[in-house]
Each structure stands twice: as structure tokens, then as C-alpha cells.
Amino acid sequence: MDGSGGAGTTQAVPGGYRFSMRFQGGMQLADSTDRVLWSLSGFVTRGGRPVASFVAAEHATEDLEIVRTRRFPRPQFEILEHGRTLATVESDGLLRTQWTIAFADGLRWQFPLPMFRVARGALRDGAFVVKVREHRMNLWDLVFEPGQDRPEAVAAIACVHLARWRGL
């Protein structure tokens, strides 16, 4: 993050994304031109489990689902596509300051989430794969390394953002 895309701007950094959490519980993800790419509903109970829908703007149907599989002692979520698990997102501690994102293909990202606002990101093998800048608790900018912004990765970061915002 080079300092562009500061707290007063309305768009993500060039080539990046902006997560904007609505107070009603949903989220929108826009690109650097402010075009909404995905929206995330707040969690609703379906079949006895809290489920959020991660919907691509071009489609009218639900693309991915985020299902909370455990709340206590450490929250855990699954990113599903037609019932198939693409990734799991799990808090590594009671304070929820460290998250692990495990993808179905074996990749694992560590996502440190300090309790204060700083530039941060997800790490794989000690190197950043996505950089995050938090302007406010409900407004994050993201810049992915080339090829890392696949839908389940974006949904996983959205899940962490929603969990932090809603205290899930």
C-alpha cells in the first residue's frame, strides 16, 4: 500500500478492491473503478446453521455460501460452492487476532488481524499474497498478488471482515 486510497477517498487503490460493510450486516466489494463485483448478505439461519450468500454482481443466483460451522471457542467457517467446500476460515485464538484460511487445493494463508488499524495482509510461506488497509472498521482496501484473487479467496477475506465487524 503506497499511501494512496486514504481514508477520505471513495475508491479502492488502482488494481485493488474495496470492501464496504453496511450497518445492516451486508457487504459490497467494488473494484478500483467503483463497480460492484460481489455482494455479501448478512448471516441468516438456514437448516439450523448461519449462512451468508456471496453473490457475483453479474449473476442473479448465489455463487458461493459462507457457513459458520463453529462459533465457540474459535469461530470456523466454510466457503461452499454447490455444497462442495472450497476453503475453511478459522480463528486461531480466543481474541480472534489470527485467522487461518485453508483452501481445498492445500494452500494455507495466515491472516493476522491486530486489534488496531494498520496495513496488514494474508501471508503464505511468509510472503504477502493480499495486502489489506483498514480505513475504518467497516471499510477495507485490498490488493492481491497476481493470480491470487480467485472467488474463494475473496470470499474468505470477506468472511474475516464480516466476522470482525459482527463479532461472529
Per residue in 112-164, pLDDT tens?
776 665 556 777 777 788 888 877 778 888 888 888 888 888 888 888 877 77
| All structural domains of the chain | 17-166 (2.40.160)
Integer Cα distance of 43 and 159 in angstroms: 10
pLDDT digits (tens, 9 = 90+) for 28-81: 888 888 888 888 876 777 777 767 777 777 654 557 888 888 888 888 999 988
pTM for the whole thing? 0.77
Integer Cα distance of 45 and 61 in angstroms: 18
52 CB neighbour count, 10 Å cutoff: 27
